[in-house]
Chain A
Amino acid sequence: MTKIKTLADLKKMKEEVRSKITLREQGDNPEDRVQVKVAMATCGIASGAKDVMDFMVGAFNKRGIDAVVTQTGCMGYCYAEPTVEVTVPGKEPVVFGYVDVKKADEIIEKYIKKGILLEGIIPVNYQTIE
């Protein structure tokens, strides 16, 4: 890693990263990849998020789906852990609750591949700041 030595460096870096994230947020580009975020805070891990994440990474590889799986912090839906947010290019992010390996498989096969929504969607109930 190179050091960030000045404020200008930092700003430049931010713009670079931001453009990546913005792509992820809006996902207008049809060539863009599927983004999957697994909530990996203690509550998520305790209820099996690690297995889900491992499964999904493996499944995307095996099934030839161009997807990025990342971990993230607590989304706040502790009652429904493990939770997974899936952003299919061109669509709003959807959060699924109570995701186990079976459910993850369903998400890939039905929602990601075919666009069929599944039960167990958690409506986002907060605003966040930009």
Chain B
Amino acid sequence: MSNYKMHLLVCSGTGCHASESDQLLINLQNEIALRDLADDVQVIGTGCFGFCEKGPIVKVIPDNTFYTEVKSADVTEIVAEHVIKGRKVERLLYKDPVTKEHVTDSKHMGFYQKQLRIALRNCGFINPENIDEYIGRDGYAALGKVLLEMTPEEAIKEVMDSGLRGRGGGGFPTGLKWQITREVQADQKYVVCNADEGDPGAFMDRSILEGDPHSVLEAMAICGYCIGASKGLVYIRAEYPLAIERLKTAIKQSIEYGLLGDDILGSGFNFDIELRYGAGAFVCGEETALIHSMEGERGEPTFKPPFPSVSGYLGKPTNVNNVETFANIPVIFNKGAKWFSGIGTEKSKGTKVFALAGKINNVGLIEVPMGTTLREVIFEIGGGIKGGKKFKAVQTGGPSGGCLTEKHLDTPIDFDNLLASGSMMGSGGMIVMDEDDCMVAVAKFFLSFTVDESCGKCTPCRIGNKRLYEMLEAITKGKATVEDLDKMQNLSNVIKDTSLCGLGQTSPNPVLSTMNNFYDEYLAHVVDHKCPSSQCKDLLRYEVIEENCVGCTACARNCPVNCISGERRQVHYIDQSLCIKCGECFERCKFDAIAVN
């Protein structure tokens, strides 16, 4: 039985792969075999280390040595020095950009500190269906501390001092919200957890509820104590069956332990939590619409004020916070507001969870301190663009956000910076686009989402977004004029300016930001009737390259609308007026005789 003494891990992610890590892998294996070390040392390829910028990477286990930018030429030295003599190859070690010193143990590398899991602290670590494991990780300690050692005012102050802002998108200071709700006099108040996560591609709330439901329950109870509510409601979309199951289990366990219910931990404080199911309407993430939905009314927003803090569920003061916001609360009490506010930027404290999606290597859920740059998120944590393509834009904030480009990559991510850049934090969706993406089509995609999800209550959102969508469609079909672009600009601004709720007020953002950053692309569609990324079907033109065509008839035989004519062994011809741009001829032609323009 072989028992390896050492492992050499070679990154085989797409990024490193592009920088020839597979050759490196083979060379290392050969070198080890050559020196007859194959029984002691194992060389294997691993998933992406997320550090593609410095690839290819070789990691040595057990001493955690982290070699960067390793070339095939370095193989001999690594084996001779490190594997055989146990001396690290200094020049290949990761160099800390601040201290300029080589880092010998990867655990101390800055890169690994780029992600900091606070809201996700227990996700992937504890069994979410076992309350004991949560308690073992300081679970319910914050609730105990708040209930028995703090007044509601002190507790609210702690949240205020932490600088925590709402993670649902708006970024309203959480402590302030609690305080306002506390100050309203009423016989009954409610704590509502907004788990109506609806941004396309966003799933951080679901993951928290699935991976660490107790942290949300604990936070809701703390909030209840602070604002004077004995009742909590989780508004969760019915499409999240697993999260619902885990929440139910968690609530049951908490009640059995007496951590929810009457006289929690002997404090005299009572708190119950119930679930309410939403049908998955995006607008129900807006807090007034959410409340109406819980009341059994049509899920549509109403004008604020009155804010839910004053008149919310059943007309009672109601504090609505998002899942991720709540997940931060217990940590703030366990580690202190000061600790929490030490993380992040001046006005945005703590971390933010993002769902990385799109043309990025490491699609997934990440949590980074506020102030991390987009570049770090996309290229270091996210492992860069798929297939080594060129980065074009990143959409943050879901359908309410905007597209940010190359020039924004070094902007530290926080609420205010994103807003200033023409996008927003939103709930944390982050969709990466590469050179193949047409920005008009991207704007159209997001707008089609808003058009579908508009509740229809106010004119600008109901009709304005529809018209905006129709104009975008006209552009992608080459039927729009430059004048239309001006109209779109005006219409977008009016929709932002006059819509009733956050959905409408932000819905033109994808259009405005793509128009601001990629106006050339719009012009290309409108003036030249061309889609620079060749994504807009209607603007494509399939043509026969006469000198390549041998008249094999493959294209004509497979054309679904029979718009290709030509005799056998003669040059073929495509009737543009009938062509539906399906691309079948292009696929079928073995002689590169079809051109796409």
Contacts and interface: CB of A to CB of B under 8 A. Distances in A.
Q: Do chains A and B touch in the complex (CB under 8 A)?
A: yes
Interface stretch (A13-21, A59-67, A100-108): A13-21
A92 to B, nearest CB: 8
A24 B433 CA distance: 41
Interface in B111-146: 111-118, 120-130, 132-133, 135-141, 144-145
B135 A121 contact: no
B211 A41 contact: yes
Interface string B201-225: 0010011101110000000000000
Interface in A8-62: 9-11, 13-14, 16-18, 20-21, 37, 39-43, 45
B335 interface: yes
Nearest to B363: A79
Interface residue tally on A, bucketed by range: 35 or more
Nearest to B139: A14
B316 interface: no
B470 to A, nearest CB: 35
Contacts of A41: 123, 206-207, 210-211, 242
A79 B258 CA distance: 39
A17 to B, nearest CB: 3
B83 interface: no
B242 A125 contact: no
Size class of the B contact interface (CB-based, 8 Å) = 35 or more
Interface stretch (B42-50, B181-189, B405-413, B499-507): B42-50
B266 interface: yes
Contact of A21 (B136, B265, B335): B136
Contact of B144 (A10, A42, A116, A124): A10
B133 A17 contact: yes
Interface in B1-59: 1-4, 7, 9, 12, 42, 44-50, 59
B331 interface: yes
Contact of B132 (A13, A115, A119, A126): A13
A129 B121 contact: yes
A116 B111 CA distance: 27
A14 B211 contact: no
Contacts of A127: 112-113, 115-117
Contacts of B148: 7
Contacts of B140: 4, 10
Nearest to B143: A10
B261 to A, nearest CB: 9
B136 A14 contact: yes
B148 to A, nearest CB: 5
Given A6-B266, A116-B4, A129 B117 contact: yes
B141 A11 contact: yes
B240 interface: yes
Interface in B233-285: 240, 242-243, 253, 256-259, 265-266
Given A73-B124, A119-B46, A129-B331, A17 B136 contact: yes
Contact of A122 (B47, B253, B257, B365): B47
A80 to B, nearest CB: 6
8 contacts: A11-B144, A16-B136, A71-B128, A76-B366, A76-B367, A115-B4, A117-B4, A122-B47
